[in-house]
Amino acid sequence: MISTFRVSASAIVALAVSVAPIPAFAAVTLVDPTPAADPGQVVLPGMQATCDAAALAHDTDGAGGDVWTGQVVLGPVTLAAGPVETGTHSITDAIAGTLVGAGTFTPAHTEILGDPYRNGGSVNMFGIKQAVGGHYSASTYDFMGTFKTTYSHAFSCDILKAVYHPAVDIFHPAVGIYVIAGDFGDSEDAIRGNCAAFTAQGSDPTNLPTWWGDPFHGGSDDNPHCKFQGTPAYTEHHDAYNDPPVLVGNEAQTAINVDQTNVLRAHEDAGEGFDTSATLIIGQVVVCISPSKTGTKLPGAWSKQNGYTGNKCTTDWYNGGATVGVPNLNDGSHNWVTVPVI
């Protein structure tokens, strides 16, 4: 038997067999606040993969080399659903001090406290009725339960492109002049003129002879006439590279929903019924009735009401003991005006 209870004002009502129904609700409501998103605004699994795929979809030229990348841009985290209870609860989960009877209260036993008393100008006498134990058809209480909350994590993707540049070999032709390669006696002036003519053929870098820049030219291998002075031809090599990534656009994506569970305090408004052994005050009821005689308010024949079993339903008690401790506000008249005791 569950004996933990709270008596509310709505339970203090007059009744003969059962208390009138106490309104009951029909929902579990949170006492604790809605929990914050866990995790919060962070990159979740699947976000980067989505952005990677979005970037790859832009690489359509087939040439390769250009590097497309996607970067996650986090959006707001918003409540999508919940909290919704995922488990079950019962009256046995009620937090101490929170269980309250609801629905219809049926007393196990009722009794009248003390002796009858007068109240106002009534020719009847009254008593306080109480219930000793009973049954509530429903209950309300707080409990700790497991709840699921769903948060929506919005995000988008920045799409970036790093342009590819292939490796390059740049040829630089020789730059210089041809001069006489030795002492040729009487032929020196003629050979010197030949060397100047060779130099002149190198004046147009876009139309150079195939021998231009050779160490020697003219004469023979054993007796070369002119030699090259200057910078020999060379090839300048540049490795392949990519430009720094450049933002080309931002693309919205479908938000990712994340479920989380939390243990939260909640309130049950329509729980199951329970028995109580507590003593509850039902309220003031008529315990002695005396129909008035015609034309007067003097008491007639007395009858017991509402479970009163005492022997004080008498005119003597009405005129004597029923007035003890109850002030008469209209002295000099049998029509008592008294202060209600509740």
Each residue's pLDDT tens digit, 117-162: 998 778 899 999 999 999 999 999 999 999 999 999 999 999 999 9
Let me know whether 176 and 205 are in one domain.
yes
**Closest to 142 measured CA to CA, from 3, 29, 298:** 29
Kindly state the percentage of the chain with pLDDT values over 90.
Answer: 64
Residue 335 confidence class, pLDDT cut points 50, 70, 90: very low
Let me know whether 54 and 142 are in one domain.
yes
Q: Is 226 inside any structural domain?
A: yes
Alpha-carbon torsion angle 89, 90, 96, 102, nearest 10: 120
> pTM of this prediction?
0.61
Let me know whether 224 and 260 are in one domain.
no
Kindly state the percentage of the chain with pLDDT values over 70.
Answer: 84
Let me know whether 178 and 141 are in one domain.
no
How many Å apart are CA 295 and CA 293, to the nearest integer?
6
Let me know whether 174 and 148 are in one domain.
no
| H/E run at residue 195 | helix 188-200
pLDDT for the residue numbered 336: 39
Q: Is 298 inside any structural domain?
A: no
Q: Is 323 inside any structural domain?
A: no
Q: Which residues pair with 136 in a beta bridge?
A: 105, 274
Q: 290 with 301: CB under 8 angstroms?
A: yes
Let me know whether 16 and 148 are in one domain.
yes
Let me know whether 252 and 148 are in one domain.
yes
Overall number of domains in the chain? 2
Residue 114's domain comprises: 9-161+246-287
Let me know whether 22 and 100 are in one domain.
yes
Residue 62 has pLDDT above 50, yes or no: yes
pLDDT for the residue numbered 339: 39
